């Protein structure tokens, strides 16, 4: 693939200034823009981002929570009593038969022809859980999410999302904004990484947690692999690929080695001056060396109080795994990491994919995430971090108002819910609406890139100014800022 | 609504216009107007197309106008219809048309207006857009004359001559030749992807011959490793990908696609012409229909397979065939006419039509009939009449069915069109069962099964004899009654001093004991009293509910360390009897041989009996023996418990006895259990084994008869005895049907399954009746398995005969691609090859030679090389030789002392020096193994799973959408979707991989050991020097020596080593393995290890 992000034209003066500053002296200023480069095609006229926002930002960091498989909007954040009233009736027998207007259904862009899933489900299935007005804002949220409900005053619930891939490629679509058949495009985290500088030279600025085997495991794509998220496993013994020597080596011994590598590389610049790759490699070794300690430090939860650990549910089996990821996320945000992408429940198409047994499935999955997420929101808030951190709760699509089999719901792309909190997002509001049976997003319809636009806007970035020559972006890629939810 | 928008737009325009007029700002045509028109209008109103007879690419053409008169009237924007169209005024269609582009921005329109009102002036000498026919890449390359040079010093071959002329013109002074070691390393890595060993370096340095370098070139080009190195390059371009899918289901690419990889490697090593390679990849099935070696080449098309969407599949074929071989972005024309190149939307579908009929199948290879294990994935024209339609705006839901598109090429590139002749295939091609190896392979498989069945029969007879003997003994010594009851519990009450309720919800009401808790949790009732080691227990209960598993049973040996479970599960997905146990690790094991499908119904009472002696367990259900199992774990002290898992159940009674020493237990079979327990069963088993043997013999006879019939029938002309042979084959196959039915009956009788017995008898009757029916057809010997066309294909259509002809479309396309007058093929190939030698292509947009692509930096050189390739039988080795022996290739990559050059040509467009390249991921890993003396040079064969440790070259690892080798992917391995150039990123994860992975650390240790094994490397200085030469192929400078010596001193301290006293006046110390390893590891992390200088 031709990568267009070139640093061939890296300024000679900047290069010379870096030389001779030594391993430690190199860092700060020089590291701000990027820790790596990619060579390949040559580009004229394009100025890569300088690491500064385009306009004053409202938020510094993003915690992106993604529920794999498709959370039922109908049993989480978008109650539809009419489903109970007309339960068991086919849609055509209800007053809402026009939701199946073929024109409206054309939104779906099919990847798997004649898939057993992603079909119309006609017989309305009643709500499998109760709803209550919750928290200070009194937003209706289901009984499976009582803890998140307590935080309602901080949430902007968006009930009018739609997407177009009726299969789980919609996971990729939510992250990159493009349908799977369009090819591979950078994800939002990669754009943020490309656009903004670092706040902490010891840590990567874009981190991903949770398994992502179903959809593409890369982020940078045409921006280059240096904009891929650094995967972080919440396993204090092995938090980072090749994160510590696989054969025992003392820290001192390793430090001497890194110092020698640095010194030899600097010396090589005598023979090969003006080599931007050499400069970039010297820098990459510095960050690498620091990551070996900074990453395990992040996972040292013993620095947290018992009360905090409980807040995230670390004391109970069902919530422990996700809770640890969220606690790590808070510790990363605290240290200035920009974008933390967390996948809940990978494996197969994603654990939330309740084609059958929805009640048990969603009850169990909600149990695993509800308390940790609420814990994260509360913890960020009391530390004053929520002001500058956007938390997003998202999923690839909702689930059908009609039943699949006897006790499931199928994929549903025409209307579903996500929510955001913090980072200059207005709390305690509900934005947009689906129709009476939760079929189509009707009021304030939003495609997934509207979420991207809103997040970029809060971070002070204009996606049009990030564009790379030769990589044409469409209007739909940029999305529209959801101004109604901005504080 | 629409009107309002127009109105608003107009209003905004007025405002802006007035701003312009007020400010009296002069609009500049070239700065403000032409770029907008170029971007938004020229595609339809320029050189490519003249919609409405109108061109907008010069001011005078605008004034001249088209079918509707002048587009602009100077000084009068209100009379200029261009403005009406841009605004979409009533009566004027908005331009660009809806669906083809957004309207122009109000300020753009305002400027155009202002420019017209200001007199619509433009440059006097404005030239119209060039005719696409004049685009350099669309003209056939002709060999340019060699340039005349003032100074021919340093010119080694024509490549240098072309470059030197530019150097002369630009005042560039090329860098000197690289250091010999650097040069040798560059050459090795470039040609074979492995660095020279210290010995190879020394041999080269010691060779006084003026042709020493050329000798190395020849040796490397003729080594097998050349094919592996350059094969990987072409695998990038041709999108090599191993298959991926879910479980065994193939979704993309094909199983065994590595045959195509091996064909690439073999072809390169044999220096097969590039043109021939293209012909074989696109159409070997038409050109060489029975040549298995060449058929491997069509893996190129088999790899494109995508199960779920045929359109996606074919669109990728069009996109990447045009990009890889032609350097054209045909993909842009899927939805609309090309914006820059002379291709219409219909051209996309014409190109697609070449591929429309093809599908994929796997041909059997000699010796292996199981297509899961091996086979050659290849293509063939399957649906000869499959129509191609244009999709409206590329939307597959909107095919324009009024017109079926015929295969064809853009007129400008193929003025003579393309001639397509159907190919009539030899019988062996469409009827692979005729290939002798197919019948041999199937026969040998049956023979093996037959041999195994004979052994099985012998075993069954032995078992029968043993059981008959045992039954005689039993008859003489009747089984003694089991020991007296230890416990007889009827649960009339739940006695707390007898039973401990540990988990679950146990209630006692109405005289019944019930466990009521369901869901993923257990109910446990533990017997408080101890239990003998060998015992017999019987539980009677009725399962009444549960969500999923509905399991009820008995555990024994239960305690913190483990337990053994025996239970009946009424799981709807498969009710069963199961023995399971908990391992020391805490994991539960559910051995398949201790699983027995059984009918377990809710509401029906069950009786479960266990008899355990040491590790031999007998389980009876309803009083009948069900399972014998030998526990693979040791017995422990532990309790007996009644358990439920996700089950509601009523418990009726429980009895416990100790097991008498002479009680007869059924021994466990080979796999832990056996279904054969009685003499009658053993007799049935013997009959079954006999029937199996007979069936296999019948199949062998049938195979031979069918093969004979095939041969007779497909002879040209068919043999006279063909009808007789066919009748024999039919008869033999029907005989097999009888034998199969007899075998099924024998199996049903062994299982004593009445329903199955009845069904089998019916089947047998039908088969017998059928045996003598007249006429009929036999099942053909396939020898090839068609891949499902898509997720919609039925098994029936999958098994229809292969067509006897092929459309000839793909071979026609391949002939055109490789014809001498194709303007693109040779140039595109040369550019790829050049890019990989020099780290920089001659045409930067390697897959776009169209008008939007980059112009060549050295057009004459490119054309000269293209003609050179074509005229030398498209030999790639010829081109490599030419390139690597040029002076240009041998230059130093350093910019040292070249301040002037840097100022004039900072990007080295004119190659006044060599470009350094970062090693590709595979080269890094292969080099580590090679320098450590660990590389396994075995070539070819199935791809190696990424989870497997391997010392083979990296290109043999599985590489697919789903599976990427971790170490390799950190260094930007190929994107399997599209990889015309590799990225060369520099990221911290690479530093971690190189410093911390076992791969590098082990290589460091082995390199250090090898060096330490050499004489004379005992001083720090000598070791450092040798390590530099080995790892980096350079000698260290004094400063580098010093840095390394100081690091060694620090390591010594850190490792707690004492420095031996200096001897011989020098700094003689002893380098040991840990020290040497540390130093080598640092050098492996040196920038110049992963860099090809």
- Please tell me the predicted confidence (pLDDT) of residue B512: 86
- A residues 60-99 closer than 8 Å to B (CB): none
- Please tell me the predicted confidence (pLDDT) of residue B473: 66
CA dist B338 and B335 (Å) reads: 9
At B40, the pLDDT band (50, 70, 90 cuts) reads: confident
- Please tell me the predicted confidence (pLDDT) of residue B669: 66
Token pair, residue B768, equals 């017998």
| pLDDT > 80? residue B1060 | no
Q: Are B942 and B955 in contact (CB under 8 A)?
A: no
- A residues 272-301 closer than 8 Å to B (CB): 272-275, 277-278, 280-282, 284-285, 287-289, 291-292
Structure ipTM: 0.78
| pLDDT > 60? residue B642 | yes
- Please tell me the predicted confidence (pLDDT) of residue B519: 85
Q: How far is A220 from chain B (nearest CA, A)?
A: 11
A246 touches chain B (CB under 8 A): yes
| pLDDT > 90? residue B812 | yes
| Residue B1016: other Cβ atoms inside 10 A | 8
User: B509 or A53: which carries more pLDDT confidence?
Assistant: A53
CA dist B895 and A275 (Å) reads: 9
Question: Smallest Cα–Cα separation from A32: which of A275, A262, A201, A282?
Answer: A201
For residues B917-944, average pLDDT: 97
| pLDDT > 70? residue B1063 | no
pLDDT digits (tens, 9 = 90+) for B712-741: 999 888 999 999 999 999 999 999 999 999
Token pair, residue B95, equals 């331009």
Q: Are A83 and A125 in contact (CB under 8 A)?
A: yes
pLDDT digits (tens, 9 = 90+) for B654-709: 999 988 877 778 877 654 345 566 788 889 999 999 999 999 999 999 999 999 99
Q: Across the interface, which of A36, A106, A259 has its CB nearest the CB of B987? A: A36
State pTM to two decimals. Answer: 0.80
| pLDDT > 50? residue A31 | no
CA dist A14 and A19 (Å) reads: 9
| pLDDT > 90? residue A228 | no
DSSP run (H or E) holding A380? helix A358-382
| pLDDT > 50? residue A40 | no
Q: Are B377 and B285 in contact (CB under 8 A)?
A: no
CA dist B618 and B723 (Å) reads: 59
Q: Cα dihedral sign for B143, B145, B149, B154?
A: positive
Q: Which residue has the tokens 């079979």?
A: B669
| Residue B580: other Cβ atoms inside 10 A | 18
Q: Are B155 and B878 in contact (CB under 8 A)?
A: no
- B residues 968-997 closer than 8 Å to A (CB): 970, 972, 975, 977-981, 983-993, 995-997
- Please tell me the predicted confidence (pLDDT) of residue A50: 87
Suggest the residue from A247, A365, A474 to mutate for an interface test with chain B (most B CBs closer than 10 A).
A247
CA dist A220 and A38 (Å) reads: 11
- Please tell me the predicted confidence (pLDDT) of residue A22: 31
- B residues 998-1037 closer than 8 Å to A (CB): 998, 1001-1002, 1037
For residues B758-778, average pLDDT: 92
B439 touches chain A (CB under 8 A): no
At B482, the pLDDT band (50, 70, 90 cuts) reads: low
User: Which residues, 6+ apart, have CB-to-CB distance to B206 below 8 Å?
Assistant: none
Q: Do A224 and B547 touch (CB under 8 A)?
A: no
Strand, coil or helix: what is A140?
strand
Phi-psi region for residue B491, left (φ > 0), alpha (ψ -120 to 50) or beta? left
Distances (CA, A) of B728 to A115, A203, B389: 45, 77, 47
CA dist A455 and A481 (Å) reads: 8
B284 backbone dihedrals φ, ψ, rounded to 5°: -55, -30
Distances (CA, A) of B1029 to A203, B184, B197, B1024: 35, 12, 9, 9
Strand, coil or helix: what is B118?
coil
A74 backbone dihedrals φ, ψ, rounded to 5°: -70, -20
Strand, coil or helix: what is B894?
coil
| pLDDT > 60? residue A237 | yes
Q: Do B990 and A284 touch (CB under 8 A)?
A: yes
For residues B1005-1014, average pLDDT: 90
> Which residues in chain B are contacts of A178 at CB distance < 8 A?
none
> Which residues in chain A are contacts of B1086 at CB distance < 8 A?
261, 264-265, 268
- Please tell me the predicted confidence (pLDDT) of residue B476: 59
Q: Do A36 and B975 touch (CB under 8 A)?
A: no
Distances (CA, A) of A71 to A91, A398, B331, B407: 21, 6, 36, 47
Q: How many Å from the N-terminal Cα to the C-terminal Cα in chain A?
A: 41
Token pair, residue B683, equals 């007799």
- Please tell me the predicted confidence (pLDDT) of residue A41: 34
For residues A183-202, average pLDDT: 92
A298 backbone dihedrals φ, ψ, rounded to 5°: -55, -35
Q: Do B1054 and A252 touch (CB under 8 A)?
A: yes
> Which residues in chain A are contacts of B1082 at CB distance < 8 A?
257, 260-261, 264
Q: Across the interface, which of A8, A115, A224 has its CB nearest the CB of B985? A: A224
What is residue B505's DSSP assignment?
-
Beta strands in B516-622 (DSSP E): 522-527, 535-545, 551-559, 562-569, 576-582, 588-589, 595-597, 606-613, 616-621
Beta strands in B95-135 (DSSP E): none
User: Which residues, 6+ apart, have CB-to-CB distance to B22 below 8 Å?
Assistant: none
Compute the mean pLDDT over every residue in chain B, rounded to the nearest whole number: 91
**Minimal Cα distance from A256: which residue of B?**
B1047
Question: Smallest Cα–Cα separation from A470: which of B238, B858, B46, B329?
Answer: B329
Q: Do A36 and B986 touch (CB under 8 A)?
A: yes
| Residue B386: other Cβ atoms inside 10 A | 16
For residues B397-413, average pLDDT: 94
| pLDDT > 50? residue A27 | no
- Please tell me the predicted confidence (pLDDT) of residue A13: 31
Q: Do B983 and A181 touch (CB under 8 A)?
A: no
Question: Smallest Cα–Cα separation from B340: which of B729, B853, B778, B698?
Answer: B853
Q: Across the interface, which of A40, A241, A243 has its CB nearest the CB of B981? A: A40
At B624, the pLDDT band (50, 70, 90 cuts) reads: confident
- Please tell me the predicted confidence (pLDDT) of residue A472: 80
| pLDDT > 60? residue B11 | no
> Which residues in chain B are contacts of A243 at CB distance < 8 A?
992, 996
Question: Smallest Cα–Cα separation from B257: which of B1069, B1092, B956, B1076?
Answer: B956
- Please tell me the predicted confidence (pLDDT) of residue B831: 98
Q: How far is A425 from chain B (nearest CA, A)?
A: 31
Q: How far is B782 from chain A (nearest CA, A)?
A: 29
pLDDT digits (tens, 9 = 90+) for B316-375: 999 999 999 999 999 999 999 898 899 999 999 999 999 999 999 999 999 999 999 999
| pLDDT > 50? residue A307 | yes
B1030 backbone dihedrals φ, ψ, rounded to 5°: -70, -50
Compute the mean pLDDT over every residue in chain A, rounded to the nearest whole number: 87
Phi-psi region for residue A200, left (φ > 0), alpha (ψ -120 to 50) or beta? beta
B1088 touches chain A (CB under 8 A): yes
A459 touches chain B (CB under 8 A): no
Token pair, residue A371, equals 């308390």
């Amino acid at each position: 693939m031709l990568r267009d992000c070139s640093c061939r034209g890296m300024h000679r003066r900047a290069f010379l200034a870096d030389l001779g500053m030594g391993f430690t002296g190199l860092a700060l200023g020089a590291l701000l823009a990027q820790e790596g480069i990619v060579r390949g095609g040559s580009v004229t006229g394009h100025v890569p981002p300088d690491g500064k926002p385009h306009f004053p930002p409202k938020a510094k960091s993003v915690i992106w929570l993604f529920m794999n498989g498709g959370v039922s909007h109908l049993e989480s954040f978008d109650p539809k009593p009419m489903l109970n009233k007309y339960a068991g009736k086919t849609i055509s027998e209800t007053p809402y038969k026009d939701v199946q207007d073929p024109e409206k259904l054309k939104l779906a862009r099919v990847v798997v022809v004649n898939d057993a899933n992603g079909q119309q489900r006609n017989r309305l299935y009643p709500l499998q859980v109760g709803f209550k007005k919750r928290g200070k804002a009194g937003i209706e949220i289901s009984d499976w999410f009582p803890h998140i409900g307590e935080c309602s005053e901080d949430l902007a619930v968006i009930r009018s999302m739609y997407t177009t891939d009726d299969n789980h490629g919609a996971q990729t679509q939510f992250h990159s904004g493009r349908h799977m058949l369009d090819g591979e495009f950078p994800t939002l985290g990669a754009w943020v990484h490309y656009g903004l500088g670092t706040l902490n030279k010891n840590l990567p600025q874009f981190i991903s947690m949770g398994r992502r085997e179903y959809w593409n495991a890369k982020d940078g794509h045409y921006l280059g692999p240096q904009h891929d998220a650094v995967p972080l496993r919440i396993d204090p013994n092995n938090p980072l690929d090749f994160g510590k020597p696989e054969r025992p080596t003392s820290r001192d011994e390793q430090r001497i080695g890194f110092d020698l590598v640095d010194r030899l590389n600097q010396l090589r610049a005598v023979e090969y001056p003006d080599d931007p790759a050499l400069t970039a490699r010297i820098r990459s070794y510095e960050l690498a060396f620091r990551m070996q300690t900074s990453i395990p430090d992040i996972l040292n939860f013993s620095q947290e109080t018992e009360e905090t650990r409980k807040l995230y549910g670390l004391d109970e089996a069902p919530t422990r795994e996700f809770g640890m990821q969220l606690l790590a996320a808070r510790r990363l945000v605290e240290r200035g990491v920009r974008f933390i992408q967390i996948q809940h429940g990978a494996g197969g198409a994603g654990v939330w994919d309740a084609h059958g047994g929805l009640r048990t499935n969603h009850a169990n999955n909600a149990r695993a995430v509800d308390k940790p997420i609420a814990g994260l929101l509360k913890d960020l808030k009391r530390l004053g971090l929520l002001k500058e951190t956007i938390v997003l709760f998202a999923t690839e699509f909702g689930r059908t108002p009609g039943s699949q089999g006897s006790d499931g719901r199928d994929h549903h792309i025409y209307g579903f819910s996500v929510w955001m909190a913090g980072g200059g997002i207005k709390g305690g509001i509900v934005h947009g609406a689906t129709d009476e049976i939760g079929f189509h997003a009707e009021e304030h319809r939003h495609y997934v890139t509207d979420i991207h636009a809103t997040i970029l806007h809060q971070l002070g970035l204009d996606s049009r100014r990030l564009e790379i020559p030769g990589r044409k972006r469409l209007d739909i890629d940029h999305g529209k800022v959801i101004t109604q939810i901005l504080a | 609504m629409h009107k309002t928008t127009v109105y608003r737009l107009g209003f905004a325009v007025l405002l802006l216009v007035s701003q312009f007029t007020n400010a009296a700002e002069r609009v500049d045509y070239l700065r403000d107007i032409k770029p907008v028109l170029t971007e938004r209008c020229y595609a339809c109103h320029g050189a490519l197309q003249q919609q409405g007879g109108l061109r907008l690419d010069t001011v005078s053409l605008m004034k001249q106008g088209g079918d509707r008169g002048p587009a602009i009237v100077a000084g009068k924007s209100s009379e200029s219809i261009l403005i009406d169209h841009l605004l979409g005024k009533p009566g004027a269609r908005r331009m660009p048309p809806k669906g083809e582009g957004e309207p122009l921005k109000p300020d753009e329109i305002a400027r155009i207006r202002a420019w017209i009102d200001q007199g619509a002036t433009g440059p006097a000498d404005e030239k119209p857009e060039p005719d696409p026919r004049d685009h350099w890449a669309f003209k056939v390359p002709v060999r340019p004359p060699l340039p005349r040079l003032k100074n021919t010093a340093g010119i080694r071959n024509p490549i240098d001559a072309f470059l030197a002329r530019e150097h002369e013109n630009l005042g560039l002074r090329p860098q000197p030749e690289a250091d010999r070691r650097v040069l040798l390393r560059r050459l090795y890595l470039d040609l074979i992807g492995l660095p020279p060993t210290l010995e190879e370096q020394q041999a080269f340095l010691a060779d006084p011959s003026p042709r020493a370098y050329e000798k190395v070139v020849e040796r490397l080009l003729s080594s097998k490793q050349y094919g592996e190195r350059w094969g990987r390059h072409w695998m990038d371009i041709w999108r090599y990908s191993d298959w991926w899918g879910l479980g065994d289901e193939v979704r993309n690419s094909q199983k065994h696609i590595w045959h195509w990889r091996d064909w690439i490697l073999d072809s390169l090593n044999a220096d097969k012409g590039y043109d021939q390679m293209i012909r074989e990849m696109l159409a070997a099935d038409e050109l060489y229909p029975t040549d298995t070696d060449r058929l491997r080449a069509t893996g190129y098309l088999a790899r494109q397979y995508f199960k779920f969407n045929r359109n996606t599949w074919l669109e990728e074929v069009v996109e990447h065939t045009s990009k890889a071989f032609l350097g054209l972005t045909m993909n842009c024309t899927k939805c609309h006419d090309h914006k820059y190149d002379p291709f219409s939307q219909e051209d996309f579908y014409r190109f697609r039509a070449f591929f429309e009929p093809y599908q994929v199948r796997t041909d059997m290879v000699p010796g292996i009939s199981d297509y899961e294990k091996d086979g050659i994935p290849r293509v063939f024209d399957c649906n000869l009449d499959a129509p191609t339609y244009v999709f409206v705006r590329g939307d597959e839901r909107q095919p324009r069915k009024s017109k079926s598109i015929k295969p064809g090429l853009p007129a400008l590139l193929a003025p003579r069109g393309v001639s397509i002749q159907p190919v009539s295939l030899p019988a062996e091609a469409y009827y692979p069962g005729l290939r002798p190896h197919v019948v041999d392979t199937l026969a040998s498989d049956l023979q093996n099964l037959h041999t195994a069945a004979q052994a099985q029969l012998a075993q069954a007879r032995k078992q029968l004899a043993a059981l008959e003997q045992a039954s005689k003994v039993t008859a003489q010594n009747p089984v003694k009654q089991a020991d007296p009851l230890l416990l007889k519990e009827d649960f009339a009450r739940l006695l707390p001093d007898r039973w401990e309720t540990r988990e679950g919800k146990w209630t006692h009401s109405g005289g019944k004991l019930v466990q009521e808790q369901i869901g993923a949790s257990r109910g446990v009732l533990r017997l408080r009293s101890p239990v003998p080691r060998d015992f017999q227990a019987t539980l009677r209960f009725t399962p009444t509910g549960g969500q999923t598993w509905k399991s009820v049973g008995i555990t024994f040996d239960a305690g913190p360390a483990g337990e053994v479970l025996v239970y009946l599960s009424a799981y709807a997905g498969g009710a069963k009897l199961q023995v399971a146990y908990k391992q020391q690790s805490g994991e539960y094991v559910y051995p398949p041989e201790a699983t027995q499908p059984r009918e377990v119904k809710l509401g029906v009472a069950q009786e479960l009996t266990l008899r355990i002696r040491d590790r031999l367990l007998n389980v009876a259900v309803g009083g009948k023996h069900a399972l014998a199992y030998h526990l693979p774990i040791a017995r422990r002290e532990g309790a007996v418990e009644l358990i439920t898992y996700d089950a509601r159940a009523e418990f009726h009674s429980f009895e416990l006895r100790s097991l008498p020493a002479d009680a007869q237990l059924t021994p466990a079979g080979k796999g832990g259990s056996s279904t054969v327990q009685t003499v009658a069963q053993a007799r049935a088993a013997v009959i079954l084994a006999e029937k199996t043997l007979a069936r296999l013999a019948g199949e062998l006879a049938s195979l031979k008869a069918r093969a004979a019939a095939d041969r007779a029938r497909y002879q040209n002309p068919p043999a006279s005895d063909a009808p007789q042979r066919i009748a024999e084959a039919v008869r033999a196959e029907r005989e097999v049907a009888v034998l199969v039915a007899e075998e099924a009956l024998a199996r049903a009788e062994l299982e004593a399954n009445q329903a199955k017995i009845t069904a089998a008898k019916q089947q047998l009757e039908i088969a017998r009746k059928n045996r003598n029916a007249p006429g009929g057809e036999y099942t053909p010997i396939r020898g090839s398995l068609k891949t499902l066309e898509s997720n919609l294909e039925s098994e029936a259509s999958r098994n229809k005969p292969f067509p006897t002809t092929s459309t000839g479309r793909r071979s026609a396309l391949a002939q055109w691609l490789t014809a001498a007058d194709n303007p693109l093929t040779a140039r595109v190939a040369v550019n790829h090859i050049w890019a990989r030698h020099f780290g920089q292509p001659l045409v930067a947009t390697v897959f776009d030679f169209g008008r939007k692509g980059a112009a060549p930096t050295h057009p004459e050189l490119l054309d000269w090389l293209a003609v050179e390739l074509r005229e030398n039988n498209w030999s790639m080795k010829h081109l490599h030789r030419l390139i690597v022996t040029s002076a240009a290739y041998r230059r130093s990559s350093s910019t040292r002392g070249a301040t002037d050059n840097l100022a004039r040509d900072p990007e080295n467009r004119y190659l006044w020096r060599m470009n350094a390249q970062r090693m590709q991921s595979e080269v890094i890993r292969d080099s580590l193994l090679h320098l450590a003396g660990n590389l396994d040079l075995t070539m070819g064969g199935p791809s190696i799973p990424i989870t497997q440790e391997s010392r083979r070259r990296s290109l043999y690892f599985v590489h697919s959408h789903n599976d990427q080798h971790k170490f390799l992917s950190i260094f930007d391995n190929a994107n399997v979707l599209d990889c015309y150039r590799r990225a060369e990123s520099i990221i911290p994860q690479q530093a971690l991989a190189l410093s911390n992975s076992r791969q590098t650390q082990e290589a460091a240790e082995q390199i250090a050991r090898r060096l330490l094994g050499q004489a004379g490397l005992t001083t720090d200085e000598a070791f450092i020097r040798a390590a530099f030469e080995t790892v980096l192929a350079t000698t260290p400078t004094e400063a580098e020596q010093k840095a390394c010596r100081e690091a060694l001193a620090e390591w010594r301290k850190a490792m707690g080593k004492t420095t031996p006293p200096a001897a011989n006046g020098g700094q003689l110390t002893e380098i040991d393995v840990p020290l040497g390893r540390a130093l080598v590891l640092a050098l492996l992390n040196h920038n110049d290890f992963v860099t090809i200088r």
